[in-house]
Chains A and B, each alone.
Chain A
Amino acid sequence: MGGTDLPLVLEFGGGAELLFDNVKKRQVTLDGSKTWKIKELLGWIRDNLLRERPELFLQNDSVRPGILVLVNDADWELLGELEYELQPNDNVLFISTLHGG
């Protein structure tokens, strides 16, 4: 099966980890027999990882405004945001800025 797996590293920071059992970093493996865009990853995260108050993480099929998304340390704005197609071993980091300055 190894060839059809899509391994990813997901990280949650800036307080976003509180919605995910307080786990900041995790390895996940998605079904690599199909392609995954970030918008599909968000749905997967909602169904499999998100523990509480989903409205603090997701809003209208995207992340809530104020949550930064970095793929391999680059802002997802440079990669097409929701349309970016995930590659094996991508590191996706979600940083919440929804707290006092």
Chain B
Amino acid sequence: MSTACKSKCGNRAVLKRPKTGDALCKECFFLAFETEIHNTIVENKLFKNGDRVAIAASGGKDSTVLAYVLAHLNRKYNYGLNLVLLSIDEGITGYRDDSLETVKRNRDDYGLPLKILSYEELYGWTMDKIVAQIGRSEALAFKDTTKKVVRGICSKCGFVSSQQPCKACVLLEGLNRGLPKLGIGKKSKGDRMIAQQNKELALKERANLVKNDF
């Protein structure tokens, strides 16, 4: 019981693409995925020849895919980009030191220079030192009146999130449907507050005008 790749290449499909619902083999999925990214870069004129572009790399799967795809497309389509990996070392032993090892592997695998900036260099403090100084967050007390974020689990991806669905899933949904506005460029809380104040002010003024009419 196996499904054929939708692009009729003759291979067995290995996944169903969430974005399109197409059943594709590995090679056709990679090609579709990379071509769409290339089209987005070209259509939106994201880069110019000779640009120096830093890829923010955490060592996680997302930035690893990003580093791979950009290095691959830069070679394939001659963007002429000068790509570098940039990582931040907060100085959390047992966490960031492990993921930085992955970034170093990205550097070697994709042939990209790597720059690591540390909190230690930047501020003279590592995260470990900060925690040692102020204590862990469990030791801090909140006022009863402080509104706390309710910790939940995203129903789509299962990741811990205070929002339903999580921000990453909203963003992904937007990108998949070609509606970047769904996830990107939302007005900040400050903008919304100002808009609300302006609305109230306008209402008040109108009420005054109406009053003055009588």
Contact = CB atoms under 8 A, between A and B. Distances in A.
Contacts of A98: 157-159
Given A100-B60, A101-B63, A65 B156 contact: yes
Contacts of B58: 100-101
| Main secondary structure on B side of the interface with A | loop
A78 B13 contact: yes
A74 B2 contact: yes
Interface residues of B, number: 21
Interface string B147-166: 00000001111110000000
Contact of A65 (B12, B61, B157): B157
Contact of A78 (B3, B154, B155, B168): B3
B61 A101 contact: yes
Interface in B159-186: 159, 168
Interface in A47-93: 59, 64-67, 70, 73-75, 77-79
Contacts of A59: 158
A77 B158 contact: no
Contacts of A100: 58, 60
Given A74-B13, A100-B58, 12 more contacts: A65-B154, A65-B156, A65-B157, A66-B158, A66-B159, A67-B158, A74-B2, A75-B15, A75-B16, A77-B15, A79-B1, A98-B159
Interface of B: 1-3, 12-16, 23, 58, 60-63, 154-159, 168
